[in-house]
Amino acid sequence: MRLKDKVALITGAASGMGRTAANLFAAEGAKVVIADVTARTGEEAAQEIKSTGGQAAFVRADVSKPADVEAMVRFALETFGGLHVLYNNAGIFHAEDEGTVETAEAIWDRVIDINLKGVWLGCKYGIPALLRSGGGSIINVASFVALVGAATPQIAYTASKGGVLAVTREIAVEYARRGIRANALCPGPIETPMLAELLRDPQRRARRLVHIPIGRFGRAEEVAQAALWLASEDSSLMTGAALVVDGGITAAYVTPE
């Protein structure tokens, strides 16, 4: 069990990639704190883990609010006695996030608040807890669009994920000699409820698929396995890096027929 006796806090863990990771981390021995804004599904996610013999607890938190983030870290310490893995997974894609000129300031602010400020707040309050627990691993969810421009205009989302990558590198350098590793996950399009909603139109879905050399969208389980590797000591020499899990999107110049 690669996370035996570790405490892992995962934001946005009530559904999608976060919930899949929470189940996997628990199966690998971690005590999992599920943080999310949605109480009903968050409680269900925690109960799902406990029903299979794992250890989990839910705490409601809006990652854009400093008081909520501070409280979720305190909850992890009080409930399980430490913090060893901080997985900043919570994020949104707003339907009105469009081109540079078209996107409203309110949309920009909302996306940045959750996707970028939320990661910074998680680290701001989580790092002292990691240090008190003897160090650990920070995993921040960026995106393949942190590395290449998006084919479909989405300026706020792209900016937020680029920021996550930069923040991760900064933290990695700052804490490398204090027992904390920080890495970013850069997934491609993953089959989640958020993607399903975004690509309800079959033609829009087909246009996205054309850019993926492997010929399909990723699965949440595939991203969770990458996160598990970053969380565990298997990746002990890796810090300040971007782990790309995108089916080849960022490697492709010309999409194969």
Domain of 58, in residue numbers:
7-251
Q: How many domains does the chain have?
A: 1
pLDDT tens-digit series, residues 199-250: 666 766 677 777 888 888 899 999 999 999 999 999 999 999 999 999 999 9
Note whether residue 2 is domain-resident. Answer: no
pLDDT tens-digit series, residues 122-171: 999 999 999 999 999 999 999 999 999 887 789 999 999 999 999 999 99
Note whether residue 200 is domain-resident. Answer: yes
How far CA 40 is from CA of 35, 68, 79, in Å, comes to: 12, 17, 20
What pTM did the predictor assign? 0.94
pLDDT tens-digit series, residues 80-110: 999 999 999 999 989 898 999 999 999 999 9
Note whether residue 257 is domain-resident. Answer: no
Of 87, 125, 157, 175, which is the active-site residue?
157
Among this protein's residues, is 157 annotated catalytic? yes
Note whether residue 73 is domain-resident. Answer: yes
How far CA 138 is from CA of 89, 157, 227, 253, 257, in Å, comes to: 11, 21, 10, 31, 38
Residue 61, domain CATH: 3.40.50.720
What does the block give as tokens for 127?
A: 């790092």
